Amino acid sequence: MKKTFVLTVFLVLAAIFAGSAQAQLPPEQRVDHFRCYIVPQAPTLLVAVKLVDQFDAAASMVENITQLTIVRHCNPVQKIVNGVITPIVSIKHHLEMFTFNTQPVVLRQVVISNQFGQQVLTTADAKILAVPTGKALPPNPAPPAPTDLDHYKCYNASGNAVNVLANLKDQFLSENTTVLRPVLFCNPVKKTHGSIMVGILNPDVHLVCYATSTSSFAGTSINIRNQFVSLTNLVVRQPDLLCVPSLKLSWAVETPTTGTGAAQP
């Protein structure tokens, strides 16, 4: 009995220390970069989903999502910039980006830091829910969605272009591309769908998605599976986004009367 108790305590402590060590890793070693491909046609799903991210929590709000439409499929990608290689964290990590019904526009100023440096973004309306997804090439069936990857709620964003040349290599292709301006800022998000609630694994890791230069990719078909859909032969076209793991250093709501509000952690 005593040996069993000691072993249980040891395993609990090991899990705690492992989690602490994981949290000390930089964002790009915990969460992948993602290269996102256009999905030209996908069905619209009627759903009942509640989302709460760090912006919502600060305002004691819950966002209610009633419809979802796939617009991008995102592969984990290896990135090389100036000879520095950022490898793929997990080849099983994919995200499906769904647009959702219109949400209120709240302007915020967000200061972020990633491998492209420190940047100031202006965010607007919430636009996209990025959902962990299992992916396979036909005729193979899609595996279950990964459970060790966060959901993300993404906002329209604007900021200065970074104009960085990068080599991106994923499961579809390897090519050089120019990383351009930021277009989305993504918070990890708690999602409730029916009786199932999915929490947040890495609350300090965010994604900033940048437009990229035109790709030569001709397109392909994939099979996908996640908490909302299981689809075969989903067509994906040219990639146009690179989503980069980022830290959020501060943020503030912008108001028309007083300018920028008090900064939030």
pLDDT of residue 186: 98
The DSSP H or E segment spanning 30 is helix 27-30
Mapping DSSP to helix (H, G, I), strand (E, B) and coil, where does residue 165 land?
A: strand
Q: Which two tokens stand for residue 57?
A: 């929590």
Please state the separation of Cα 56 from the chain's center in Å: 17
Are residues 57 and 93 in contact, defined by beta-carbon separation less than 8 angstroms?
A: no
Q: Give dist(CA 86, CA 249) in Å, integer.
A: 22
Instruction: Categorise residue 225: left if φ over 0, alpha if ψ from -120 to 50, beta otherwise.
Output: beta
pLDDT of residue 89: 97
pLDDT of residue 261: 46
Mapping DSSP to helix (H, G, I), strand (E, B) and coil, where does residue 29 land?
A: helix
CA-wise closest residue to 67 among 99, 103, 39, 104: 99
pLDDT of residue 257: 55
**Secondary structure letter of residue 62 according to DSSP:** -
pLDDT of residue 255: 79
C-alpha distance from residue 199 to each of 9, 17, 88, 191, 237 (Å): 25, 20, 23, 7, 31
End-to-end CA distance of the chain: 46
CA-wise closest residue to 191 among 110, 90, 98: 98
Per-residue pLDDT of the chain (265 residues; tens, 9 = 90+): 444 444 343 333 333 333 444 557 899 999 999 999 999 999 999 999 999 999 999 999 999 999 999 999 999 999 999 999 999 999 999 999 999 999 999 999 999 999 999 999 999 999 999 999 999 999 999 999 999 999 999 999 999 999 999 999 999 999 999 999 999 999 999 999 999 999 999 999 999 999 999 999 999 999 999 999 999 999 999 999 999 999 999 999 997 654 444 444 4
* Residue 209 neighbours by CB under 8 Å, 6+ apart: 36, 154, 157, 182, 183, 184, 185, 186, 241, 242, 243, 244
Domain parsing of the chain, residue ranges: 31-260
Number of neighbouring beta carbons within 10 Å of residue 152 = 28
Are residues 190 and 9 in contact, defined by beta-carbon separation less than 8 angstroms?
A: no
Number of neighbouring beta carbons within 10 Å of residue 248 = 20
Q: Give dist(CA 73, CA 92) in Å, integer.
A: 13
